[in-house]
Amino acid sequence: MSAHSVAPSGATFHHLMVEAEPEANALLRVLEPFVIHDVLPHRVDVAAPDGARDGALRLDLHFCASADLAARLEARLATMVTVRHIRLMRTGMAVEAAA
């Protein structure tokens, strides 16, 4: 089992809004790049197809990472066939070094 990932000093909080095909495995596919890059989202909200436009599954992922890594996650998700639309927003302050 791996240790709990901790955001590096200087990382910032981000919010990724994803609209995906309403498929049973879409949530797992969207979360996979976070596992690969050892980023643990601190909040994940999912809306079922009835609540999103055009029957899309809506996922809101809140996480802490460097701007470069957040952009890589966005780019990787954007290439997935199951993802219809994606938008990355920086939402907060930088993480300070642990004491």
Residue 80 inside a domain? The answer is yes
Are 61 and 41 contacting, i.e. CB atoms less than 8 angstroms apart?
yes
State mean pLDDT over 27-53.
Answer: 88
Domain containing 46 equals 12-94
Predicted pLDDT at 98: 44
Domain count for the chain = 1
**2 within some domain:** no
The pTM score is: 0.80
Residue whose C-alpha is closest to residue 34's, from 12, 67, 61: 61
Q: What is the pLDDT of residues 60-95, one digit of tens each?
A: 999 999 999 999 999 999 999 999 999 999 876 655
- Whether 5 is in a domain gets the answer no
Does residue 4 sit within a domain?
no
Q: For 48-67, what is each residue's pLDDT tens digit?
A: 777 555 788 999 999 999 99
CATH code of the domain in which 42 resides:
3.30.70.260
Q: And the tokens for 54?
A: 């055009």
Question: Is residue 6 situated within a structural domain?
Answer: no
Q: 61 lies in a domain? A: yes
Give a yes or no: residue 69 inside a domain: yes
